[in-house]
Amino acid sequence: MEHSASQVSVSGKTQAHQTQSLAGVKVLLVEDECDMADLLLFILSEAGAEAIWVMQANDALAQLHRSRPDILLSDIRLPDCNGDWLIQEIRQAEFGRMPRLPAIAVTSYTRGLNANTVLKAGFDRFLPKHIDSEEIISAILDLV
């Protein structure tokens, strides 16, 4: 997968701002496409976030039992279970026991996918995968 320079490069001024903007934020990234995970990890790292990457929904649940991130960033289509299933499992586990984990759904499959369905499943935001660094950082900052 090729990424345009505008997706991966950040101007010096913006980069300095972003490096501080997510400092201390722990992100659980659930993404099965290695190229997309690399891009998202780069964006998060450049912004100062601490990211843990897993490739499957069940691995994400296991990770949540080990440590609690500040936010979840998850693909919708995953190899073991879909993102809707993952967020519903998380919301059931949280119910009455812990604070709600902010969650952003990302996907490249926007045809036939209704953002309202994703939000009703329990995600707080829905972003197509053609997002740029400022958009993803802004969405995270809005929710944490």
pLDDT of residue 140: 93
The band of 133, judged by pLDDT with boundaries at 50, 70 and 90, is: confident
In terms of Cα–Cα distance, which of 87, 38, 69, 77 is closest to 143?
69
In terms of Cα–Cα distance, which of 129, 131, 127 is closest to 143?
127
pLDDT of residue 69: 96
* Cβ atoms < 10 Å from Cβ of 29: 23
Q: Considering the entire predicted model, what is its pTM? A: 0.81
Tokens 């601490």 correspond to 50
pLDDT tens-digit readout, 12-50 = 434 444 344 899 999 999 999 999 999 999 999 999 999
pLDDT of residue 112: 59
pLDDT tens-digit readout, 78-132 = 998 888 999 999 999 888 788 899 999 998 766 656 677 788 889 999 888 777 8
DSSP structural state of residue 71: E
Is the pLDDT assigned to residue 2 strictly greater than 90?
Answer: no
Q: What average pLDDT does this structure show over 133-144?
A: 90
10 Å CB burial of residue 128 (0-12, 13-18, 19+) is middle
pLDDT of residue 50: 96
pLDDT of residue 62: 95
pLDDT tens-digit readout, 44-63 = 999 999 999 999 999 999 99
pLDDT of residue 22: 94
Q: How far apart are CA 120 and CA 105, in angstroms?
A: 12
